Structure 1
Amino acid sequence: MKIGEKIKNLRIKNALTQEELANRCELTKGFISQLERDLTSPSIATLVDILEGLGTNLKDFFNETTDEKIVFSKEDAFEKENEELQNIVNWIIPNAQKNAMEPIHVEIKPGGRTKDVPPHEGEEFGYVMNGSILLHVGLEKHKVKKGESFYLKPGKSHYLSNEGKTTATVIWVSTPPIF
């Protein structure tokens, strides 16, 4: 088992920078960087602190089951609210960054938006469940309403915004995982 790689994946899943994780655990960014590259090993106490900062524990971290889960409940999801951008991102499939696709459920409050997604290889699909959004691709804007979808090959920076009066809800899927 590559402990560093597994910690890095958990950190990314939790949308934390190395510095944010280091601050949570009272460690240095350099130590987290070395740990993620398997250049150093943490003590058990330090590992426990890091895992707590990532919302897990030793038992779950080292539990490597061979049964692949197929159905996921709301309790499996990880939610992160961004008050500055006025959105809530729900990672509805745990550890999806290890898969070919990464689906998220996004709620964008009126006047809110998602973070910028830089250009990348792959494809993205989105379906607007409630409200309407603007899909910004480079300098272009595309309005997508409830019941409509979008599909793009993301060769330009892009993001979603909500200029409406109600919260917009979107299922957004990327391949490869980028959220």
Structure 2
Amino acid sequence: MQIGEKIKNLRIKNALTQEELANRCELTKGFISQLERDLTSPSIATLVDILEGLGTNLKDFFNETTDEKIVFSKEDAFEKENEENRNIINWIIPNAQKNAMEPIHVEIRSGGRTKEIPPHEGEEFGHVLTGQIILHVGKDRHKVKKGESFYLKPGKAHYLSNEGKNTAMVIWVSTPPIF
């Protein structure tokens, strides 16, 4: 592990100069510079002081995290077809339930619908890629056509339906994850 590089990255992330970090820790700018270039090593007590000045601690600093995947392919997705409701839900980001938002790709055949989602905290966004859908929010109905989007704070039960002749495809994002 390159301690100096990691300290430098934290310092930059916190928008601090070397001098500002040094002042917070009662060290010299030269020591911080040497530390960031791995020319010197701090004592445990000094490292604790530096990390406190950067808003973290030893445990979090040394907790190695693996790089999270950023780009996902079709092979990463999980698809579930519901014959009764005439829809296919495609979880385009695997394990999105652990994230703040959960995007899905929904395909609703003519006469189909999604399951009704009860009121919940958070927000939802959808964009119709093809066809048109009806967004049902409580007793209200909203027609959303190809190229149009919807955005709601789901304080009422809601679902999508397709009363058109053609299959509709929608990108639907929920925060927090609910699908």
Shorter-chain TM-score: what band?
Answer: 0.5 to 0.7
Does residue 155 of structure 1 match 2:155? yes
1: CA distance between counterparts of 2:93 and 2:128?
18
User: What amino acid is aligned across from residue 110 of structure 1 in structure 2?
Assistant: S
User: What amino acid is aligned across from residue 137 of structure 2 in structure 1?
Assistant: V
User: Deviations for 1:138-179, whole angstroms, at most 9, x for unmatched residues?
Assistant: 000000000000000000000000000000000000000000
Does residue 174 of structure 1 match 2:174? yes
> TM-score scaled by structure 2?
0.64
Q: Secondary structure of the equivalent of 1:75?
A: helix
Q: Show structure 1 runs of 4+ deviating over 2 A.
A: none
Q: What corresponds to 1:115 in structure 2?
A: 115
2: CA distance between counterparts of 1:73 and 1:117?
28
Q: What corresponds to 2:142 in structure 1?
A: 142
Q: What corresponds to 1:87 in structure 2?
A: 87
**Structure whose CA Rg is larger:** 2
Q: What corresponds to 1:77 in structure 2?
A: 77
Q: Secondary structure of the equivalent of 2:150?
A: strand
Between the aligned residues of both structures, percent identity stands at 84
User: What amino acid is aligned across from residue 143 of structure 2 in structure 1?
Assistant: K
Alignment coverage as a number of residue pairs: 115
User: Deviations for 1:28-75, whole angstroms, at most 9, x for unmatched residues?
Assistant: xxxxxxxxxxxxxxxxxxxxxxxxxxxxxxxxxxxxx71200000000
User: What amino acid is aligned across from residue 67 of structure 1 in structure 2?
Assistant: D
RMSD: 0.7
2: CA distance between counterparts of 1:132 and 1:140?
16
Q: What corresponds to 1:99 in structure 2?
A: 99
1: CA distance between counterparts of 2:85 and 2:110?
10
1: CA distance between counterparts of 2:107 and 2:91?
12
5+ residue gaps, structure 1, are 1-64
5+ residue gaps, structure 2, are 1-64
2: CA distance between counterparts of 1:89 and 1:133?
15
